[in-house]
Structure 1
Amino acid sequence: MVRTELMNRLKHNWLICRTVAEVTYKEWSAYRTHSLVSVIVGPVYFMVQYFIWTAVYGGQSSLGGMDLPQMIRYFGATALIGYLIMDFADWNLSMLVRTGKFLTFHLRPIHHRSFALFQKIGHRSLGFLFEFLPCLLIFIFIFGVDMRPASLPWTFLSVLLAFLMNFYVNYTIGLASFWIIQSNGIRSAFMLVSGIFSGALIPLGFFPNWLQVVQFFLPFQYIAYMPAMVFTGHYSLGGLELSTQQAVGIQAMAVLITFGFSELVRRLAMKQFTAVGA
């Protein structure tokens, strides 16, 4: 009886997820030109990184524990992973709270965080087709970069965890809108810090050792650095060298902790909601 009820509930949630994702996919399909712009920006950013790091390495064989080919693959991986995990849940939630439109979601049988996650699945499905795949082909056939992951299953799992981590962190930032009217300052500050400490701009191996150790207790490295290093097949940080399985296991625990913290903040935020502006 309990098993049947659980299966029915999972089936119901799956139908909701598929429906919301499909609607979001169709809605954003009308703005495919936005994705096409990303296809230009991504390779240009990668090309800049390529020339910078080629000059930085000079005749040196290794920097920050990475040789030049590995560094090039690392930045190719971070660029592609960025297309798959991109998220705007914080901005969207802030807008809904500020305008009072969050009330319509608050009255629905599914709470907004799940709805936003399903939206992201649909939005990134579109990004996979119009951003990820074109850039992957550009990196392979124009830049000649080896974009084969060291382990496809583990890379897929790590990117999936990064997808969830980025969503839960951003959604938690968006929940600040229940306490303050304008959360743009918090969002901007977080984006700056995340860009630096996620490893998207510079590999974390170049930071001081103590700061590398601190990254294990912050969410940033689990968004870009860890999945990129899992892609390359060699993870090291703060003097620790972990196997792919160990790294993904730590990433999974970090996602669970972040989800728990997000749920706590969400429940506190619901007590603050007054539907002002509805």
Structure 2
Amino acid sequence: MGQLQMYLAFSRSSFRRAAAYRFDAWTRVFSNFIFLFIWGVIWYGLYLDKNIVAGVSFQSMLSYIFVSQMLQGIHSAGTPLWEIQEKVRTGDIVMELIRPYDYPLRALFSDLGSIAFHMLTAVLPLYVLLFWWFHLQVPYTFSQWFLFIFSAILGFLIRFSIELIFGLFTFWLVETGGVEDIFYFSISLFSGSVVPLWFFPDWLETLARFLPFQGIFFVPNAIFVEKLAGPEAISAIFIQLFWVLVSFFVLRFVWRKVSQKVTVQGG
């Protein structure tokens, strides 16, 4: 319990720090409006004179995009990749090694505090209003809501682990701009954040389903609009659980190597 209380203290500190910069919350709301408008116009043009595309109505597709932007708003409240890389480059990461806590867990709980503030102030109020205003599709059953929320949590854990892994690669790489490009390109393409996997060519969809990125946005989004339901939704969640475990073990492996590297270099 003492360890848990220590990590929860990081969450509370991060929550208060986010609350001190309220202007950031308003800028997130504004940027969400901009992106929603852009993607809404794009998909409206693609659906023009069509009621259903690939078995999905425009109303469901709009709900998919809104949920995707909502989840992206939540994810972006966490520590960005460049901050992790900067901490490695400046050597501040060494301080994390000598303190009596596990850095990956500390980073996770800190992100949860920041995410909680932005979710309560900049995300949920906005999207509750938007879904009510546009009469968008929402799950009708408790089980579907539960699967969506559980899937969204798993998606966040997958992204957090992969992002931290990429950030720690800075220990071995002098220039990390390419690493950032690969990470964000993979997220934007294979996660289904703006283009659902069912619109992909068959070969690209097959490739995407063998990668962990689909579990970040596509699975929870598809569950929300009931494109994934019943046994298919359960199967997709088990795949997410698999990638959570894989990414977690890879993160622990990389962090152990990083710790050994710092110890050896520091004597």
TM-score (normalised: structure 1): 0.87
**Contact 2:137–2:225 (CA under 8 A) maintained in structure 1:** no
- Distance in 2, matches of 1:255 and 1:149, equals 28
How far is the alpha carbon of 1:30 from its aligned partner? 1.3
- Measured in 1, the distance between the counterparts of 2:209 and 2:137 equals 29
Mapping 1:17-32, distance limit 5 Å = 17-32=7-22
- Shift in CA distance, 125/275, structure 1 to aligned 2, threshold 3 Å: farther
Q: 2:194 matched to which residue of 1?
A: 201
Q: 1:68 to 1:196 in 2, by over 3 A?
A: same
Residues 1:166 and 2:159 aligned together: yes
| Aligned-pair Cα RMSD in Å | 2.2
Match of 2:73 in 1: 83
In the TM superposition, 1:47-196 aligns within 5 A as: 47-86=37-76, 87-148=78-139, 151-196=144-189
Indicate how the Cα distance of structure 1 residues 190 and 121 shifts in structure 2: closer, same or farther if over 3 A, else same: same
Matches within 5 A, 1:8-19: 11-19=1-9
Give structure 2 stretches of 5+ with no counterpart: none
Over 3 Å counting, the alpha-carbon distance change for 1:176 and 1:195 in structure 2 is same
Q: 1:275, CA displacement in angstroms?
A: 9.6
Cα 1:17/1:147, change in 2 over 3 Å: farther
Rounded to whole Å, the distance in 1 between the matches of 2:12 and 2:264 is 29
Query: Structure 1 residues 147 and 139 mapped into 2: Cα distance closer, same or farther (>3 Å)?
Result: farther
For 1:204, the aligned partner's letter is: L
TM-score by length of 2: 0.90
Give the drift of 1:129: 1.3
1:203 Cα deviation from its structure 2 partner: 1.2
SS of the counterpart of 1:97?
helix
Q: Sort the Cα spacing of 1:149 and 1:46 in 2 relative to 1 into closer, same or farther, 3 A.
A: farther
Deviation of the 1:212 alpha carbon = 1.0
Partner of 2:23: 33
> 1:169-194: CA deviations, max 9, x gaps?
10000011111233233113311221
Amino acid of the structure 1 residue aligned with 2:43: W
**1:213 aligned to 2:198?**
no
- Note the alpha carbon deviations across 1:46-78, whole angstroms, 9 max, x for none: 122222212211222322332211101100110
| Structure in which a larger fraction of residues adopt helix | 2
Asked if 1:246 corresponds to 2:235, the answer is yes
In structure 1, what residue type is equivalent to 2:79? F
CA distance in structure 2 between the partners assigned to 1:44 and 1:149 by the alignment: 29
Cα distance in 1, alignment partners of residues 204 and 248 from structure 2: 24
Q: For the structure 1 residues 273 and 64, does the alpha-carbon distance in structure 2 shift closer, same or farther, using more than 3 Å as the test? A: farther
Structure 1: any 5+ residue segments left out of the alignment? 1-10
Provide the secondary structure at the position in 2 that maps to 1:199.
coil
Of 244, 254, 260, the match for 1:265: 254
SS at 1:271's partner residue? helix
The separation in 1 between residues aligned to 2:83 and 2:148, in whole angstroms, is 29
Return the alpha-carbon distance in structure 2 between the equivalents of residues 195 and 247 of structure 1.
Answer: 19
Between 67-76 and 131-140, report the one with greater CA deviation.
Answer: 131-140
| Distance of aligned partners of 1:170 and 1:161 in 2 relative to their CA distance in 1, 3 Å threshold | same
What is the total number of aligned residue pairs between the two structures? 263
- Cα distance 1:149–1:181, how it changes in 2: closer, same or farther (>3 A)? farther
